Structure 1
Amino acid sequence: MSLMDVARGAYVRSPTFVRRSIAPLVSLVPTRLKFGRTYRTWRERIAESARDPAYAHTAHLAALRVLIQKAHAASPFYRDLIDSALGAGFELATIMPADLAHLPVLRKADLVAAGEAALTVPSAQLDRGDTSGSNGERPFSFYLDKDRSAREMAFVYHNWSRTGFSESQAKIVLRGFGLDPRGQYITEWEPALRELRLSVFPMTRQDVSHYLDLIDQRQVRYLYGYPSAIELMSRHMCALGRVPKLPLKGILPISEPLYAHQRRAIEAALGPVPIANFYGLSEKALFACELDGAPEVYEFEPLYGLAELVDEDGHPITEVGVEGRLIGTGFLSTGMPFIRYDTEDRARLIRLPTAENGQRMQVEKLIPRRKPDFLISSEGNRVVTIDFTPENPRFFRGIEEYQFFQDEPGHCVIRYIPSPDGTIEDARRVASDLENRTRGKISFTVEPVKKLAGGRAGKRAYIDQRLDISRY
């Protein structure tokens, strides 16, 4: 474990006052040293696996075998599970991806019940993480390797490099950073990481005008952040009739699904800027890149983990076009192994992983957990909301920002922030149009608000869904 590998992750996660005190010194460290040798090695490995399917298959298989052997040797929980499923005499050094189907799919509750018996090293040697609870789900705490940051960033930056982005370039950051708890300032230049951080709350039209001044001043050409925040900023830019003086070179979305209506809003403001979208998990179990020219089609990285699709009974899905549950076995962080972990996400199979394609499974229509992209009709059916709203930006005239709220089947509330010149009739017009689109299966009412519901760190959900989706 390299000191630099741990130090960069520790710096990013350190309190604001600590970062500010040492940022000027860190900014003087050359970029290649700031990221460390492990990062550079992994970038080379990822690039090689992209070029050579045979290399990817071999490395994928080796990583799986190392993980299973480590879990069996050091975790009482996994030792019992593996022996029970495969037999105590099974030669783990020869395990194949198909053998994993004999192991049970693990849910959060299983790992919570296992406690520290699921770890391969003492918890004091790991970082604690958690997923945020929503839709009635309790937060889930877990552990990650302290030095995983360099490996994680290698995959992220490899994906971003498709837009021309590199480690030495600056980026605009639209995330829920607590820039100032008292709200006295809403922007921050982070010199060590070369980030122009902009508050996503409240992000008024006046705020965005100020943000554009700073973007022009710094000449930053890459935009990174939550899709919901990028969409909102894009809509403000359209209203202002203003964009950065230097055209943006790339959009780098994180943490949320990127919906079709958000892509349209971004393109309406900024033009056809390349978007390097990816799928990942807080638990570091899987990583997939959206394919260039194929929105909503994702290909999983074989060096990061092993992806499976299974049906409701846990049986592998092998037929193209069939939807299933996404199951992950992660190679990136092994202090707390995630083996056949139920991500609670769903996707539709496009291509199975094989030795010939480098173990790169492809899926589409990926529906992330806690980010439902559907509403429930009066008949109890799912109404998919991808492409739910029309392409014409004037459809939302008079509405600054909106969010769908549902807590009963067949009815949805459109909570919205009015534009300065907006009226209640603008919102009612939208509600009437959407009711027609659902052929009366969902009734819509409107509710003007000053602020929309957001999760931890300021992420806004497209739909604030309060129903138990598993029942429909």
Structure 2
Amino acid sequence: MSLMDVARGAYVRSPALLRRSLAPVLSLVPTSAKYGSTYRLWRQRIERAKTDLAFANNEHLAALRALLAKAHAGSPFYRDLIDRALGTGFDLSRLELDDLLALPVLRKEQLQAAGDDVLAVPRSQVDRGDTSGSNGEKPFSFYLDKDRSVREIAFISDTWTRCGFTETDAKVVLRGVGIDNQGKILHQYDPAMRELRVSAFPLLREHVALYVDLIDKHQVRYIYGYPSAIEVMGRHMIELRRRPRLPILGVMPISEPLYPHQRRTIEAAFGDAKIAHFYGLSEKAAFAEELSREPDVYAFNPLYGLAELVDEDGQRITTPGVEGRLVSTGFLSTGMPFIRYDTEDRATLVELPGDANGQRLKVRDLAPRRKPGFLITADGNRLVTVDFTPESPRFFKGVDEYQFYQDTPGRSTIRYIPSPDGTHQDALNIARDLEIRAQGRIAFDVERVATLGSGRSGKRAFIDQRLDISRY
């Protein structure tokens, strides 16, 4: 664990006041020194694994063996689990990929209940993290290696190279609840990280006009953030007939599914900008990138972890076209091991991992289990909301932002923030049009709000779904 690896992560997680004082100094540090040798080594390994399949296969298996050995040696919880599954005295240095199937799929509640027994290292060597607890789900606390930041950014940066982004480029950051705790600061430029951070909540038309001016001022050519926020920004830009003076070269969505209607809005707003989308977890247990020529198909990186799809009985899915739950075993951060961890996310199998593809599981329709893209009709059926709302900004006349809320089958509330010139009737018009599109299976109410619901991290669901989707 190098000092630079820890220092970068500490800077990112430090209080805003401290970051502002350090930023001018760190902006003078060369990029190569800022990221360090660990970053360069991982970039080389990631690149090699794309074409050297034997390397990818060998590294994948070696990482799995090392993870289980560390878990067995340091974690009472995992030692008992591994001994019961594989037998006392099992030689983990000879573990094969299929041996992993003997271990049970683990849920958040089991890891939470294990307490510190789940850790493979002293707590002083890890940082605490939390899931956001959105959509009524209780927050989940876990622990990550202090030096994981540089390894993590190596994988992310590799994905971003698809749209031309490099470590020397600046980016707009559209994520999080606000720049400050009071929500009074709308924007901030961090020269150390080359980030123009703008507030995404709220994200009104006048804010977007200001942000485009700031993009021009700092000559930023890449957009990074939640798809829901990027879509709202793009829709305002279309309405304002504004584009940055320098064309946006790349859009890098994170943390949420990228719906087709969002993709179309982004393309309309930012022109020929390439989109580089990836899937990751706060727990750092899985990482997948969308394939360049196959929108909505994702390949999991074998150096980051081992990904599986399982059915409701926990059996591995092997037939392409079948949907299942995503289970992941993480290699990136191992102080708190995640072994056959049920992410509760869902996907459809495209291609199984194997020697022929360098152990890259490929899936489509990858979406969070607790943030489903469905509304429930009065007769208890799912209404798929992909392509449900038109991409035309004219459809949303009078409304700046919106979100569907549902707690009753057959009814949904459109929570909305009006445009400066918008009226309640504009929202009612949208509701009536959507009822027609839903063929009368869902009745829509409207509710004017000051802000839209989101988790603690600021991620805003397209649908704030309070029904148990598994029942329908």
Normalised by the length of structure 2, the TM-score is 0.97
CA distance in 2: counterparts of 1:20 and 1:368, whole angstroms:
35
For structure 2, list consecutive stretches of 5 or more residues without a partner in the other structure.
none
Q: State the Cα deviation string for residues 203-239 of structure 1 (Å, max 9, x = none).
A: 2211111111111111110011111111111111111
Aligned: 1:208 with 2:208: yes
For 1:254-293, what aligned pairs fall within 5 Å after superposition? 254-293=254-293
Q: In structure 2, what is the equivalent of residue 244 of structure 1?
A: 244
Q: In structure 2, what is the equivalent of residue 428 of structure 1?
A: 428
SS in 2 for 1:455: coil
Range that drifts further, 411-420 or 434-443: 434-443
Aligned: 1:352 with 2:348: no
Do 1:323 and 1:349's aligned partners in 2 also have CA atoms closer than 8 Å? yes
Q: In structure 2, what is the equivalent of residue 70 of structure 1?
A: 70
Q: State the Cα deviation string for residues 170-218 of structure 1 (Å, max 9, x = none).
A: 1111122642334443111101101111111322211111111111111
SS in 2 for 1:69: helix
Aligned: 1:305 with 2:305: yes
Aligned: 1:198 with 2:221: no
Do 1:172 and 1:220's aligned partners in 2 also have CA atoms closer than 8 Å? yes
Range that drifts further, 222-231 or 84-93: 84-93
After superposing on structure 2, the runs of 4+ consecutive aligned residues of structure 1 that deviate more than 4 Å are none
Q: In structure 2, what is the equivalent of residue 81 of structure 1?
A: 81
CA distance in 2: counterparts of 1:302 and 1:358, whole angstroms:
7
SS in 2 for 1:22: helix
Do 1:257 and 1:371's aligned partners in 2 also have CA atoms closer than 8 Å? no
Give the counterpart letter for 1:107 in structure 2. Answer: R
Q: State the Cα deviation string for residues 72-119 of structure 1 (Å, max 9, x = none).
A: 111111111111111113221121221111110000011011111111
CA RMSD for the aligned pairs? 1.3
SS in 1 for 2:356: coil
Q: In structure 2, what is the equivalent of residue 450 of structure 1?
A: 450
For 1:389-400, what aligned pairs fall within 5 Å after superposition? 389-400=389-400
Q: State the Cα deviation string for residues 32-64 of structure 1 (Å, max 9, x = none).
A: 010011111000000000121221111101101
- Fraction of identical pairs, as percent: 66
CA distance in 2: counterparts of 1:197 and 1:132, whole angstroms:
21
SS in 1 for 2:326: strand
Structure 1 residue 124 displacement after superposition: 1.5
Q: In structure 2, what is the equivalent of residue 95 of structure 1?
A: 95
Q: State the Cα deviation string for residues 335-369 of structure 1 (Å, max 9, x = none).
A: 00000000000000000000111000100011213
Give the counterpart letter for 2:402 in structure 1. Answer: Y
How many pairs are equivalent?
Answer: 472
Normalised by the length of structure 1, the TM-score is 0.97
Do 2:134 and 2:454's aligned partners in 1 also have CA atoms closer than 8 Å? no
Structure 1 residue 429 displacement after superposition: 2.6
Range that drifts further, 172-181 or 268-277: 172-181
Structure 1 residue 430 displacement after superposition: 2.2
Give the counterpart letter for 2:463 in structure 1. Answer: I
Q: In structure 2, what is the equivalent of residue 121 of structure 1?
A: 121
CA distance in 2: counterparts of 1:136 and 1:449, whole angstroms:
20
Structure 1 residue 136 displacement after superposition: 2.2
Give the counterpart letter for 1:374 in structure 2. Answer: F
SS in 2 for 1:38: helix
For structure 1, list consecutive stretches of 5 or more residues without a partner in the other structure.
none
Range that drifts further, 327-336 or 70-79: 70-79
Do 1:135 and 1:467's aligned partners in 2 also have CA atoms closer than 8 Å? no
Q: In structure 2, what is the equivalent of residue 438 of structure 1?
A: 438
Question: Against the structure 1 CA distance between its residues 443 and 420, is the aligned structure 2 distance closer, same or farther, given a 3 Å change threshold?
Answer: same
CA distance in 2: counterparts of 1:391 and 1:443, whole angstroms:
21
Question: Against the structure 1 CA distance between its residues 448 and 184, is the aligned structure 2 distance closer, same or farther, given a 3 Å change threshold?
Answer: closer
CA distance in 2: counterparts of 1:324 and 1:35, whole angstroms:
37
CA distance in 2: counterparts of 1:143 and 1:335, whole angstroms:
7
Range that drifts further, 409-418 or 102-111: 409-418
CA distance in 1: counterparts of 2:79 and 2:182, whole angstroms:
50
Q: In structure 2, what is the equivalent of residue 111 of structure 1?
A: 111
CA distance in 1: counterparts of 2:66 and 2:10, whole angstroms:
27
Q: In structure 1, what is the equivalent of residue 57 of structure 2?
A: 57
Do 1:54 and 1:356's aligned partners in 2 also have CA atoms closer than 8 Å? no
CA distance in 2: counterparts of 1:450 and 1:139, whole angstroms:
25
Structure 1 residue 309 displacement after superposition: 0.4
